[in-house]
Amino acid sequence: MKSYGFLGLVLVWVLAGCGEPAAEHAAMLTDSSRLAVDGGEIWYRVTGTDSGTPLMLLHGGPGYSSYYLKSLEALGDERLVVRYDQLGSGKSGRMSDTTMFTIAHFVAELDSLRRHLGLERVVLYGHSWGTILAVEYYRAHPAHVTALVLGSAALDLPAWERNARRLLEALPDSMQQAVHLREAEGNYEAPDYQAALGEFYARYVWLRPVEADLDSTMATANFDIYMYMQGPSEFTITGTLKDYDARPFLPQIQVPVLYTVGEFDEANPDLVAEFADLMPDARVVVIPDAAHITSWDNPQANLQAIRDFLGELDAR
């Protein structure tokens, strides 16, 4: 017998016709559950107690999880917040079918969760790979998106890779040589390559990780998805996303957009500013003293930037 949990039972009760829209009840809940989607089950958590526009969190990767976005649940004092792990990683079911390692699959998965929760219009917060997912969801379902928050945007991957290779040049010469050697060999597990990767992450991905969440993230990551869609590293992109470039579509996004980016972010504040300049209603907030994972490196500044933007939206 399937267990729906408290959230599932309330939604069943609402959808059975007991009076009020599902979203109004969902906004009063704090619970985690699982949802069957194409290919398996995803884990999600709902928090929130107030009437602001619901916020759905889309983690990076692809193939990682939402542990590092936990601090954003503090926004639940003003609105419903939905945090979930995309299929294949985190607390969600595993996935190995490469035909599902696609943008279209993850867009459909997100829409399944939105519909399951009865949320008609939402704000999407995407981080890194999640910014691609957020933009592509808007392209497919614009009527359901009120605004976008794009953290450390990865919306032009050829430009991302060029910038990451530039950052690589700041590493010690021995590490640069190790990267070039191991890439030529295709030996990405070599200790010297992994050491260079670790140094890159420590400078440009996270400065002050939450160790417990970092451990959980790495223990539940699906590196098959990451390798297939991204490639062996942040600075070597060989996967199916390697030519992804959203620039031609950005001028067509007609909802308000907030970009956040770390001061030392591999996403590159200058590149993010270029994305914002292409859009009719976009702004950029640079999070000081932070690299890519702004929610770890400077959680208060990150939260305040998002809270201020969402407050303006609610006031409209």
Maximum C-alpha span of the chain = 67
Of 91 and 316, the one with more pLDDT = 91
Question: Whole-structure pTM over 0.75, yes or no?
Answer: yes
Q: Average pLDDT in the 36-44 region?
A: 97
Cα distances (angstroms) measured from residue 299 to each of 109, 126, 289: 28, 16, 11
Q: How far apart are CA 65 and CA 5, in angstroms?
A: 22
Closest CA to 271 of 124, 129, 170, 161: 161
Q: Give the range among 2-6, 88-92, 121-125, 248-252 with minimum mean pLDDT.
A: 2-6
Q: What is the pLDDT of residue 15?
A: 29
Cα angle for residues 66, 71, 77 (degrees, 5° grid): 115
Of 51 and 282, the one with more pLDDT = 282
pLDDT band at 130; cut points 50, 70, 90: very high
Element (H, E) at 218: helix 211-219
Of 30 and 233, the one with more pLDDT = 233
pLDDT tens figures, 12-27: 222 233 333 334 434 3
**Amino acid occupying residue 219:** A
Q: Inform me whether the pLDDT recorded for 200 exceeds 50.
A: yes
Q: Inform me whether the pLDDT recorded for 260 exceeds 70.
A: yes
Q: What is the pLDDT of residue 31?
A: 74
Percent of the chain surpassing pLDDT 70: 91
Catalytic residue IDs: 128, 265, 292
For the chain, the structural domain boundaries read: 5-159+240-315, 160-229
Q: Mean pLDDT of all residues in the chain?
A: 91
Q: Average pLDDT in the 235-259 region?
A: 98
**Class of the CATH-defined domain 5-159+240-315:** alpha beta
Structure tokens at 230: 């991204």
Q: What is the pLDDT of residue 30?
A: 58
Cα distances (angstroms) measured from residue 172 to each of 100, 175, 178, 198: 39, 5, 10, 12
Q: What is the pLDDT of residue 18?
A: 31
